[in-house]
């Protein structure tokens, strides 16, 4: 009898197989390589990734808002290396959140504003040009507070769908990545609307930026979030766009923005340690993006780069004029032949090759216990 059941089962399976064969001629039959299951830590593995930040992390939200091409990258040659079409990412290919999602065996995490996108594996709220302060490039970006409102909407939908306790459990296992602050310190050097920056001491200004970031982190914690991943700020004055402004042109980095980034990074480290003591179960990793970039600027060839001062795409000194793609104020631009040899893609952003290296480091942390892999795997 057992055999009979088995054979009728396999008959059924055969029918199903033929049925599928007819329905989907190619894709479902292509054998997918099976990855071994990820090793598990003490806690459950994360099944979702939520992303907050600026153009280092924006995968296309600004395609959907009323802004200018200064805060958009949905035109050629953005995307030329990987997607082969412009997606809105400020690079020639993938960004850090794309690589991290891949490592966590999640699909690409879609931009919050993309119509009809599935939110089951997480949502990306980041917006190019955004700062932690609402004043930063106000009117042309989605500031951090508004990104948080987006997360609130996603949370309500999740509660409606799963019920309160299941939604909270999902949110507590998710990882929350932040990359924000650069624009708060760069905008005073790039625009004339520097009222806020001018009317506070530098330390007080840094306090406001870190304070507003902390507020959002606490709000997410209140909604159940426990696992947080941060990157600190790069040496801002060494980005080609600022090197161009500040060097007076002997070619060195522009000191003041880099100094502000250092102040911010120290304050952030201190604040996160305080949060860890204040909030029960709060776990975080903080990756030193600043050191990452300095190492590569100082020793490019050690990391496979031929050029670590000038951008691949842009014009003027260091290709630092923000004209990549010819759709901004300045239309003229040059494009390098091989972006993978460059650290910087355009005036303010890195190449896919550099982001891939950053994601590797962020994930494995090289002996540093506070890495994203541990957060995802629940160690
Ligand atoms: C700032 O203002 C000065 C003087 O009004 C003007 O020449 C300059 O182009 C402005 N810069 C920016 C970035 O708007
Ligand atoms: C957040 O930023 C605003 C300016 O946008 C500032 O007035 C406020 O004090 C900041 N909040 C914190 C908690 O630092
Ligand atoms: C470039 O100028 C800055 C500011 O004057 C100075 O501190 C720095 O030493 C100079 N660098 C070189 C390589 O001359
Ligand atoms: C891990 O990274 C943090 C942040 O950069 C740093 O302060 C800490 O010293 C690192 N720990 C180890 C063991 O390398």
- Residue 346 known to be catalytic: yes
Catalytic residue among 91, 342, 349, 374: 349
- Say what the pLDDT of residue 229 is: 96
Task: Quote the pLDDT of residue 369.
Answer: 55
In this predicted structure, the answer to whether residue 108 has a pLDDT above a threshold of 80 is yes
The pLDDT mean for the chain works out to: 89
- Residue 35: HSE in the Cβ half-sphere, 13 Å Cα cutoff: 8
On whether the CB atoms of residues 182 and 233 are closer than 8 A, the answer is yes
Q: Tell me, yes or no, whether 318 lies in a domain.
A: no
Nearest of 226, 234, 266, 274 to residue 374 by alpha carbon: 226
Q: Which of 289, 137, 150 is nearest to 216 (CA)?
A: 150
CATH number at residue 98: 3.40.50
pLDDT band at 332 (very low <50, low <70, confident <90, very high): very high
Residue 54 lies inside a defined structural domain of this protein: yes
Tell me: pLDDT of 164 over 70. yes
In tens, the pLDDT along 276-321 reads 999 999 999 999 999 999 999 999 999 999 999 999 999 999 999 9
Q: Average the pLDDT over 193-206 and give the result.
A: 90
Instruction: Of 178, 159, 156, give the one whose Cα is nearest residue 169.
Output: 159
Whether pLDDT at 121 is above 70: yes
Atom 14 of ligand 3: nearest residue by CA position: 250
What is the mean pLDDT of the segment spanning 235-243?
97
Of 107, 79, 71, give the one whose Cα is nearest residue 95.
79
Domain carrying residue 95: 43-291+357-374
Per residue in 7-27, pLDDT (tens digit) is 444 444 444 444 433 333 333
User: Which pLDDT score, from 0 to 100, does residue 43 have?
Assistant: 66
| Joined tokens for residue 65 | 């808002």
Check if the beta carbon of residue 188 is closer than 8 Å to that of residue 194.
yes
Ligand 1 cavity residues, CB under 6 Å: 191-192
Report how far residue 33's alpha carbon sits from residue 219's, in angstroms, rounded to the nearest whole number: 40
Q: Per the domain annotation, does 3 fall within a domain?
A: no
How confident is the model at residue 59, as a pLDDT?
A: 98
Predicted local distance difference test score (pLDDT) of residue 26: 39
Look up 187 and say whether it is catalytic: no
**Atom number in ligand 1 closest to CA 191:** 13
Provide the pLDDT confidence category of residue 365 given band limits of 50, 70 and 90. confident
Bridge partners, 286 (sequence order): 230
Query: To the nearest whole percent, how much of the chain has pLDDT over 70?
Result: 86
Q: What span, in angstroms and rounded, lies between the C-alpha atoms of 345 and 327?
A: 16
Lowest mean pLDDT among 276-280, 350-354, 365-369: 365-369
pLDDT classification of 378: cutoffs 50, 70, 90: confident
Q: Is residue 151 predicted with pLDDT exceeding 50?
A: yes
pLDDT at residue 249 greater than cutoff 70: no
Instruction: Tell me whether residue 367 is in a domain.
Output: yes
For residue 210, the ligand 2 atom closest to its alpha carbon is 14
Nearest C-alpha neighbor of 103 from the set 363, 375, 378, 291: 363
Structure tokens at 257: 């923005």
**Dist. CA 183 → ligand 1 center (Å):** 18
- Whose alpha carbon is nearest atom 13 of ligand 4? 368
Does residue 73 lie in a domain region? yes
Nearest one of 186, 144, 120, 185 to 57, comparing CA atoms: 144
Please say whether the beta carbons of 181 and 233 come within 8 A: yes
- Measured from the alpha carbon of residue 216, the closest ligand is 2
In a domain, 2, yes or no: no
Query: Which of residues 142 and 2 earns the better pLDDT score?
Result: 142
80-96 residue pLDDT tens: 999 999 999 999 999 99
In a domain, 363, yes or no: yes
pLDDT tops 90 at residue 41: no
The domain total for the chain is 1
pLDDT at 179 over 90: yes
List pocket residues of ligand 4, CB cut-off 6 Å. Answer: 286, 288, 368, 370
Instruction: For 326-371, give the secondary structure using H, E and C.
Output: CCCCCCCCEECCCHHHEEECCCCCECHHHHHHHHHHHHHHHHCCCC
pTM value?
A: 0.86
Does residue 193 lie within any of the structural domains? yes
């Amino acid at each position: 009898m057992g055999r009979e059941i088995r054979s009728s089962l396999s008959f059924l399976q055969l029918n199903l197989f033929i049925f599928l064969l007819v329905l989907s001629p190619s894709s479902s039959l292509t054998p997918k390589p099976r990855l071994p299951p990820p090793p598990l830590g003490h806690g459950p593995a994360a099944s979702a990734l939520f992303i907050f930040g600026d153009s280092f992390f924006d995968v296309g939200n600004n395609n959907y808002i009323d802004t200018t091409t200064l805060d958009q990258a949905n035109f050629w040659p953005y995307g030329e290396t990987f997607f082969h079409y412009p997606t809105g990412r400020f690079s020639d290919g993938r960004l850090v959140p794309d690589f991290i999602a891949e490592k966590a065996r999640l699909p690409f995490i879609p931009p919050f504003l993309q119509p009809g996108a599935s939110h089951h594996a997480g949502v990306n709220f980041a917006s190019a040009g955004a700062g932690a302060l609402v004043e930063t490039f106000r009117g042309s970006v989605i500031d951090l507070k508004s990104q948080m409102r987006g997360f609130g909407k996603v949370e309500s939908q999740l509660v409606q769908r799963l019920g309160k306790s299941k939604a909270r459990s999902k949110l507590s296992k998710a990882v929350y990545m932040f990359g924000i602050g650069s624009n708060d310190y760069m905008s005073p050097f790039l625009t004339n609307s520097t009222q806020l920056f001018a009317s506070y001491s530098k330390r007080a200004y840094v306090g406001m930026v870190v304070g507003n970031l902390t507020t959002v982190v606490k709000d997410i914690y209140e909604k159940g979030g426990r696992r947080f991943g941060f990157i600190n700020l790069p040496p801002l004055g060494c980005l080609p766009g600022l090197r161009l402004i500040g060097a007076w042109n002997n070619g060195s980095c522009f000191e003041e923005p880099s100094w502000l980034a250092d102040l911010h990074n120290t304050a952030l480290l201190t604040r996160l340690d305080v949060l860890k003591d204040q909030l029960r179960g709060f776990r975080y990793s903080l990756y030193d993006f600043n050191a990452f970039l300095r190492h590569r600027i100082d020793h490019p060839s050690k990391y496979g780069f031929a050029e670590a001062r000038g951008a691949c795409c842009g014009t003027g000194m260091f290709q630092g004029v923000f004209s990549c793609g010819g759709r901004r104020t300045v239309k003229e631009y040059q494009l390098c032949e091989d972006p993978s040899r460059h650290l910087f893609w355009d005036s303010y952003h890195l190449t896919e090759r550099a982001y891939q290296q950053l994601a590797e480091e962020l994930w494995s942390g090289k002996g540093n216990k506070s890495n994203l892999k541990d957060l995802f795997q629940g160690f």
